[in-house]
Chains A and B, each alone.
Chain A
Amino acid sequence: MDWIAHQLKLIGRIFVYLLPAVPETLKITIVAFTLALVLGVLIGIARTGSVRTARAAATVYVDVLRGIPLLVQIFFLYFGIGRLLNLSRFPSGVLAIGIGYSAYIGETVRAGIQAVPRGQWEAARSLGLSTPQCLRHVILPQAMRIVIPPVLNDFVACLKDSSLVSIIGLRELTRAGREYYSSTFSDFQTWTVVAILYLAMTLILTRVSGALERRLRQGEG
């Protein structure tokens, strides 16, 4: 009984120590993922477009970024490019994750655009819309609905991968956990609390985004 009470008290203390790091993890994830979404949609459009140079550039972009581990990209951005541009930790970490994830989102968006039936293009063209108008008013609204589930998947993965920036000294949840267990030796308890906090974040985010997805789908016939 004593042992259980002691463990609970310890876990409570760890919880109090780690909780302030949760907003930092969310901040990194949300900023990085917003960047990834913007870049990813552009990449997806370029990959499916008819402009050959844009298509080639987007293909190289996706191939290169998808082929290099995110951890290496973070090192590269912080110690390589970040040194030349004098970027500090937060922008380096967020840029690395945002750019890294934009390659995956670009591919998801490409699949979404290609999943919209060919006839939709033809119908829009026959109404006299230009290619950008077709994309904006007819194709993308349909493609976005298709890509919501895989993009949410990427979002959860991005949240978990935000732990990678702990390597350049950004104090997010994983780093705070390493601080705690390295000074107190409560390794099992610390990682239990860290795991619970990540799980709570991903569960809440997936529920919220699931509700969002249902609302967006309501417009469908």
Chain B
Amino acid sequence: MRRWILGCLSIAIGIAAGLSAGGCARRPEGSLARIRATKVLCVGTDATYPPFESIDTSTREVVGFDADLIRTIAGRLGARVEFLVVPFDGILPALNSGKYDAVISALTITDDRAREVLFSDPYYAAGQSIVVKSGSPIASVADLAGKRIGVQLGTTGEREAHRVANAEIVSFDAISAAFIDLVNGRLDAVIADTPTTALFARDHTEIAMAGAPITRESYGIAMRKADADLKAAIDAALNDLDRDGTVQSLREKWKLPSP
């Protein structure tokens, strides 16, 4: 009996060890050197945010502007990208606990976040926009008072929604759930990044953008505070890609409005 239990236990431990080996190393220190040595850049992303990052349902790859950009940057560092798809609200805590080396996820650079992580130079200027049902009287932030607003948990859209007086704020894990509830009439408005809301409004005739973007924000790639050398390398690559027109052509490929 005891031998049997021991046997099961060792098999379980063996499987666990096998599953945890390989992939992204969890040692947080000296990331750039490790990335150059292993030729793997581990990137966290919440692939529910087209056109920046989403899962291509036929290839099951992470695709989008962010995905292309980080793959190109990694190429400059002599590495390939290994994505870890995680929920947005935990994306920075998991970076700091060493689950991956960088985050690219339509992530706005904010002071609060910059206290916890290191940001690359901005690579895209976006802002928050409001979407409503077509024909809705809501046309600006002022009209949102007392309304039901859908947002994604942990986003700058959620932060903006909390500034609206008396609004009922419903935060979802993925912005797509908020869009669905807007279409179903269970929400009056959704606040999210302009390119994403614009894409959704383009694909759904019953949905419309309400007025101009309400904020101006810049996206950045996040890294751990200790990885100043990685930031320098990523910034240099970004700068190159901006100058040689790669960023612009990626914007065109994903139909993003130019800043």
* Partner-B contacts on A (CB < 8 A): 79, 83, 86, 88-89, 167-169, 171, 175, 178-179, 181-183, 185, 187
Contact = CB atoms under 8 A, between A and B. Distances in A.
Q: Which 8 pairs from chain A and chain B are nearest by CB?
A: A182-B154, A182-B89, A187-B93, A169-B170, A185-B116, A178-B89, A169-B172, A83-B184
B90 interface: yes
B143 interface: no
Nearest to B155: A182
Contacts of B96: 185
A179 to B, nearest CB: 7
A89 B171 CA distance: 12
Interface in B171-194: 171-173, 177, 180-181, 184-186
A185 B96 CA distance: 9
B92 interface: yes
A88 B97 CA distance: 37
| Most chain B Cβ neighbours within 10 Å, of A79, A83, A185 | A185
A181 B90 contact: yes
Tell me the interface secondary structure of chain A in the complex.
Answer: helix
Interface string B182-208: 001110000000000000000000000
B112 A183 contact: yes
| Most chain B Cβ neighbours within 10 Å, of A88, A167, A169, A178 | A169
Given A89-B170, A168-B177, A175-B171, A185 B186 contact: no
B171 A179 contact: yes
A169 B184 CA distance: 15
A7 to B, nearest CB: 17
B92 A185 contact: yes
Kindly state the interface size class of chain B when it binds its partner. 20 to 34
A171 B162 CA distance: 14
Contacts of A88: 186
A181 B116 CA distance: 12
B93 A181 contact: yes
B141 interface: no
Given A175-B153, A181-B90, A187-B90, 9 more contacts: A86-B186, A169-B150, A169-B181, A178-B89, A178-B153, A181-B89, A182-B153, A183-B112, A187-B97
Contacts of B184: 83, 86
A209 to B, nearest CB: 33
Contacts of A187: 90, 93, 97
Contacts of A79: 177, 180
Contacts of A89: 170, 186
24 contacts: A79-B177, A79-B180, A83-B184, A86-B184, A88-B186, A89-B170, A168-B172, A168-B177, A171-B171, A175-B153, A175-B171, A178-B89, A178-B153, A179-B153, A181-B90, A182-B88, A182-B89, A182-B90, A182-B92, A182-B93, A182-B154, A183-B159, A185-B92, A187-B97
A171 B88 CA distance: 17
A73 B154 CA distance: 25
A169 to B, nearest CB: 4
Contacts of B112: 183
Contacts of B154: 178-179, 182-183
Nearest to B92: A185
Interface string B127-153: 000000000000000000000001001
Contacts of B180: 79
A89 B187 CA distance: 11
Nearest to A185: B116
Contacts of A181: 89-90, 93
A167 B173 contact: yes
Contacts of B170: 89, 169
A183 B90 CA distance: 10
A172 to B, nearest CB: 12
A200 B154 CA distance: 27
A171 B153 CA distance: 11
Contact of B177 (A169, A178, A183, A185): A169
Interface string B91-117: 011001100000000000000100010
A175 B89 CA distance: 10
A168 B153 CA distance: 11
A27 to B, nearest CB: 17
| Most chain B Cβ neighbours within 10 Å, of A79, A179, A182, A187 | A182
